[in-house]
Structure 1
Amino acid sequence: MSGSRILTIARLELTQRLRSVGWYVLLGIFVVLLLGITALSFLIFSNNELPGAGVFSIIVNFVLLLVVLVSPTLSGNAINGDRDAATLAPIQVTAATTGDIMLGKLLAAVATGCAFLLIAVPFLAAGMLGGGVTPGMFFVSLLVLLAETIVVAAMGVGLSGLIARPLFSIAATYLVVAALVIGTLIAFGLGGAALRTEFTQQERMWDESGEPICDEWQEYTYEQPRFDLVWGFLAANPFVVLADATPTPFVDGYPQDLFGQVKYGVRITQVRPEPQRWDPCEAGGPQTSPTPEEQMRGTAPSWFVGLGIQLVIAGGLFAGAWSRTRTPARRLPPGTRIA
């Protein structure tokens, strides 16, 4: 492999896209959407003491949403699209190796996604001006967005090399992304509802005047869903990876942005449910509940596991496409165009 050949292939790929008017229309729509989201976010959090944290988290999640929606279209036909247009074979007979072609296509897809990230930086900086956003939050969120851009681009390029038809490879890329974004939520919900444990609840009896009868208990059993056994499904979700990796600002123990709220919701599912018991006859009254910050201290971060799962999937698809694109080819799918 050669760095110069990889850059040449990436430049050729980007040149074709820059000549398209639709590319600039897409960027313009992206800017308009960001302007609207930023303005609405400031209105939503205008009553907060530090509105920047909420605005920043909404913008970052919106950028990630557009990345997972747009990247499959831009990378899902990188290999088979050139094969259909009869432009892949002329490159394969040059000094460019299969690795040069694959990495050049991947670099072009990542650069396309990074264009959206660069456009979003001024809007993220505007969120920082509202306060509540640390430099660590800013850079970590950008790194996660870049990592997700690379992962989705690798999936798209990989499937474009494994599937002969561009339309099917783009659709397959969307299905894989949908499995990570929506499928993980479905698996978590159905899995937690299917796995149940029977608990026994104890309560004091109450007399007609509403006073507890301290020498008598009432017991009843119920089934509790065990989401603590399936919370790992959420680890591979791109939005959970983003929220869990980004540092969370707390005020009086409560998260002040969307990242922290998502992180708290995911982390709390790790805790095994226990029967709740409050004895009104005990001295001291009800116990004070711990804050979300205190509850999250006893849980484990999951972003690196989720990102690892995504990298394994993307790497497997990319390696399969690398093998399928290698020349001379021993076997090609029926109807595949060679030159």
Structure 2
Amino acid sequence: METIRQENKRMKAWISFGVVAVCLFLLFFMSINIGTLKIGFGQLLHGLFIHYDKDVATIYDLRFPRIIISMLAGAGIAISGVLFQAVLKNPLADPGIIGISSGAGFMAVFITAFLPSLYFFAPIAAFFGGLVAFFMVYCLSWKGGLSPMRIILTGVAVNSLFSGLSSVLNSMSGGNRTGVASIVEANITQKTWDDVKILLPYIIAGFFLSMLFTQECNLLSLEDKTARGLGINVNRTRIVISMIAVLLASISTAVAGAISFLGLIVPHIGRILVGSDHKFLIPFSALFGALTFLLADTVGRTIAAPNEISAAIIMSIAGGPFFILLLRRSSKYGKQ
């Protein structure tokens, strides 16, 4: 009976992977055809790989970077959410909610506003800002242990602090949409292939690093004494996994802006569909995160056309009620 149950879970997981992958492929093709210029699938392949096509070239330069950045940033933020929830033992942890994204965004805004010649170093600066925000949350939340509610409340305060500072810098810079404001408002309209080149290697590296620690993430769900008894250095493991999570969230924020609730929603749905084993949860969250963020961006482009709504706003509208529901259903999060 147990073997049958395990086989059913595994089948459900693989079906979930397949369905999300197909949906992502279909949404990708749908997204490249949103606008006045539309092409068929055959024309797209022909223009990309066989013979130059003016329409395909236009879409390739204008729409492809935005779509790919949506997918990469969505994957990075979703994986970051999974890792933070494992490290903090808090299913409500999200890099946007607990202030990591806003800390990273502040440093990216600072570089963009005052040191534009160092723009390509913005991801490194964002990583430093994310680390500062994380250690502020971790240290200020510690009171003989970590309480999920204290983490959330402290994170909200840190998030407000750095978001306010970013808004100040945005006002001081005159609100340049192609620079500072695009980070503050999470606007990816004007993103180019240069931004893809910045984001891609970090997301790939972060994904493979996170996959190296799937077993440790599973063990961190146990009591610390039990994990130590199994030979894991709990404190060192938490620090390393936290660094990976901060890296993914910070680099994604530096390019796509601060996105809240994505790192909360995706892991929860992932656990329902593929289970809590991080060997499956992390890659599924990457795939589903890419789909979710691309969907949010696509909805934002179409719902008020020809005007656009930022994907961050779409995620906030969808994620706010989801967060409240989780908080109400889990009375244990209120324990101090």
TM-score between both structures, scaled by the size of structure 2 = 0.30
Which has the higher relative contact order, 1 or 2, with Cα contacts under 8 A spaced 6 or more apart? 2
Bigger radius of gyration among the two: 1
TM-score between both structures, scaled by the size of structure 1 = 0.30
